[in-house]
Amino acid sequence: MTALDLNFALPSHVTDLAARVKTFVQEQVIPYEKDPRWTSHGPTDELRRELNALAARAGVLAPHAPEEFGGAGLSHIGRAAVFTAAGYSMLGPIALHCAAPDEGNIHMLDVIANPEQRQRYLKPLATGVVRSCFCMTEPAPGAGSDPGQMQTTARRDGNEWVIDGDKWLITGAEGAAFAIIMAKVVGGEGDGGATMFLADLPNPAIRIERTLDTMDSSFVGGHAVVRIDNLRLPADAVLGEVGQGFRHAQVRLAPARLTHCMRWLGSAIRAHEIATDYARRRTAFGKPLGSHEGVSFMLADNAMDIHTAQLTIWHAAWVLDKGERGGTESSMAKVVCSEAVARVADRSLQILGGLGITRDTVVERFYRDVRAFRIYDGPSEVHRWALGRRIVQGQAG
């Protein structure tokens, strides 16, 4: 790559769409931020549907969907512009139906699903009719940072697969219309390999044991503990190829971790704006807060973190748009952005003083919610460890 190759230019239909999303979020979504249906387990489905209807009326629902299902044919850079505009309110991605895990599942199904699965699962998901969940993580000693520790099993019984295991931290399982379940094959074809399965919900063999009480609250349905007990699925429930589950999941993971960065960047920009406005208006010791170097330096650091996060996202998106896997770039972007936006949240809250810890501004919720971003889609340490290993082995540029 040379600097001359870089081109983050967007076509006008994408800049128009991003501008419309920005206006939509500011005028129609932000008023919902105090709605009691935004609970500690996330926005309710009723609230989600209401917001989706508003987005559909404004012509901004699911712009990332495949074009055959009404999407806007967005490139990864295009997504960066639109998702960042949506993230200006944490309810924005819910309204546009571009929040996790659905957005990542739409992308993965678009790439992997067979024609029948496209119609049955992708179409209703992409058009916002239903929600979905992605079941990979397990309680210790199962799959976590190391998916290779997968304990959930899938064994063949005649024409059926039988799946057993425990999953947890499964976002949106409560209320989802289907689950994508990752399990390890035992015996027969694909023995020892991971495989993904599509399972309709609700299903008596997939029990939601509880919704976890967590410090974050921006995902519809919250995060669930799920017990899979003697789940029997037909052979055509396999998503992709038997034994290729981890390889297929990579299709989801690199872009999905980048879209998290895009959405959270929008929230960081909002928090910085709120802090800036306060620093201009509020006085202390005879002058506005922003005239004190201690505060202006925090604003300057916010601006630099936002700028760095933005450029890192654009670069990784540009690499993906060139058709490359972008694993290293999206991994670096995930660490850079998750840590940068957390710093922005912390500084913005500090600048607001006592107001910062109240729910009179969204900064308090952003501060709490963004913390988990350094853990999901790979903890910072795992990305650093993997990158460091590639550097030592001479495989990273």
Ligand X SMILES: Cc1cc2nc3c(=O)[nH]c(=O)nc-3n(C[C@H](O)[C@H](O)[C@H](O)COP(=O)(O)OP(=O)(O)OC[C@H]3O[C@@H](n4cnc5c(N)ncnc54)[C@H](O)[C@@H]3O)c2cc1C
Q: Which positions touch ligand X (CB under 6 A)?
A: 101, 133-137, 144-145, 169-171, 216, 223, 372, 375-376, 379, 381-382, 385
The DSSP code for 113 is: -
Q: Give the residue nearest to ligand X (CB).
A: 144
Which CB atom, from 162 or from 372, has the smaller least distance to ligand X? Answer: 372
> Which residue type sits at 4?
L
Which CB atom, from 177 or from 382, has the smaller least distance to ligand X? Answer: 382
The DSSP code for 11 is: -
Residue 241, phi then psi, degrees to nearest 5: -105, 150
Which CB atom, from 223 or from 270, has the smaller least distance to ligand X? Answer: 223
* Full DSSP string of 319-382: HHHTT---HHHHHHHHHHHHHHHHHHHHHHHHHTGGGGGSTTSTHHHHHHHHGGGGTTTS-HHH
In the complex, minimum distance from the CB of residue 238 to ligand X, in angstroms, rounded to a whole number:
18
For 17, 55, 69, 110, 250, the CA distances from 123, given in Å and listed in that order, are: 22, 18, 6, 10, 22
Which CB atom, from 78 or from 221, has the smaller least distance to ligand X? Answer: 221
The DSSP code for 397 is: -
Which CB atom, from 257 or from 272, has the smaller least distance to ligand X? Answer: 257
In the complex, minimum distance from the CB of residue 382 to ligand X, in angstroms, rounded to a whole number:
5
Distance CA 29, CA 96 (A): 10
**Encoding tokens for residue 173?**
């399982």
Q: Which residues contact 144 (CB under 8 A, 6 or more apart)?
A: 137, 138
Which CB atom, from 112 or from 133, has the smaller least distance to ligand X? Answer: 133
Place of tokens 């589950």: 245
Contact 352, 278 (CB under 8 A): yes
In the complex, minimum distance from the CB of residue 179 to ligand X, in angstroms, rounded to a whole number:
10
For 98, 122, 127, 171, the CA distances from 131, given in Å and listed in that order, are: 11, 10, 10, 11
Which CB atom, from 193 or from 379, has the smaller least distance to ligand X? Answer: 379
Nearest to 176 by CA among 223, 115, 110: 223
